[in-house]
Amino acid sequence: MNNYIRLTYASTTTSKPATIRQDLVAILNEAQMHNSNHDIYGVLFYGNNYFFQCIEGKKLEIDSLYEKLLKDTRHKEIVLLSYEPINKLRFMGWNMKYVLQEPAILEFFESNHWEKFNPYALDEDLIDPFLNILSSHNESTPGEREEVMAPEAVRGNVLNYRYAVFVIIIALLMLVGIYLFSSFGGAASIQGMTVQ
Ligand SMILES: Cc1cc2nc3c(=O)[nH]c(=O)nc-3n(C[C@H](O)[C@H](O)[C@H](O)COP(=O)(O)O)c2cc1C
Query: What pLDDT does 184 receive?
Result: 73
- Kindly state whether residues 132 and 194 are assigned to the same domain: no
Residue 120 domain boundaries:
4-148
According to DSSP, residue 182 is labeled: I
CATH of the domain at 32: 3.30.70.100
- Mean per-residue pLDDT, 88-117: 84
Ligand 1: atom nearest CA of 33 is: 11
Same domain (yes/no): 22, 107: yes
Assess whether 111 and 157 both reside in one domain.
Answer: no
Lowest mean pLDDT among 11-15, 38-42, 182-186: 182-186
Rounded Cα–Cα distance for residues 142 and 28 (Å): 9
- What order of strands is seen across the sheet that includes strand 75-86? 75-86, 4-13, 50-58, 41-47, 97-100
Q: Are residue 107 and residue 59 in the same domain, yes or no?
A: yes
Q: Who contacts 118 (Cβ-Cβ below 8 Å, separation ≥6)? A: 48, 50, 109
Going by alpha carbons, the residue nearest to atom 29 of ligand 1 is 27
Q: What is the mean pLDDT of residues 73-92?
A: 95
Residues 196 and 133 in one domain: no
Q: What was the pLDDT predicted at 36?
A: 93
Are both 64 and 39 inside the same structural domain? yes
| Cβ–ligand 1 contact at 96 (below 6 Å) | yes
Longest dimension (CA), the chain: 111
27: left (phi over 0), alpha (psi -120 to 50) or beta: alpha
Q: Name the band, by pLDDT with cuts 50, 70 and 90, for residue 57.
A: very high
User: How many angstroms separate the alpha carbon of residue 85 from the centre of ligand 1?
Assistant: 22
More confident residue, 15 or 161: 15
Q: How far is the CA of 27 from the centre of ligand 1 (A)?
A: 6
Q: Do 161 and 89 reside in the same domain of the chain?
A: no
- Of 21-35, 60-74, 139-153, the range with the lowest mean pLDDT is 139-153
Residue 11 scores a pLDDT above 60: yes
188 pLDDT band, cuts 50/70/90, is low
Is the pLDDT score of 50 beyond 70? yes
Name the residue with higher pLDDT: 36 or 164. 36
Specify the higher pLDDT residue, 1 or 91.
91
Q: Is the CB of 34 under 6 A from ligand 1?
A: yes
> In this predicted structure, what is the pLDDT of residue 98?
85
Indicate whether residue 95 lines ligand 1 (CB < 6 A): no
Same structural domain, 131 and 156: no
Name which residue sits closest to atom 8 of ligand 1, judged by CA: 31
The reply to whether 100 and 154 lie within a common domain is no
Q: In the chain, how many domains are there?
A: 2
Ligand 1 nearest atom to the CA of residue 44, by list position: 3
C-alpha 131 – ligand 1 centre gap (Å): 20
Q: How far is the CA of 69 from the centre of ligand 1 (A)?
A: 6
User: Based on the domain organization, do 132 and 166 belong to the same domain?
Assistant: no
- Closest ligand 1 atom number to CA of residue 55: 8
Instruction: Tell me: do 131 and 170 sit in the same domain.
Output: no
Q: What is the DSSP string of 138-172?
A: PP--S-SHHHHS-HHHHHHHHHHHHHHHHHHHHHH
One domain, residues 160 and 87: no
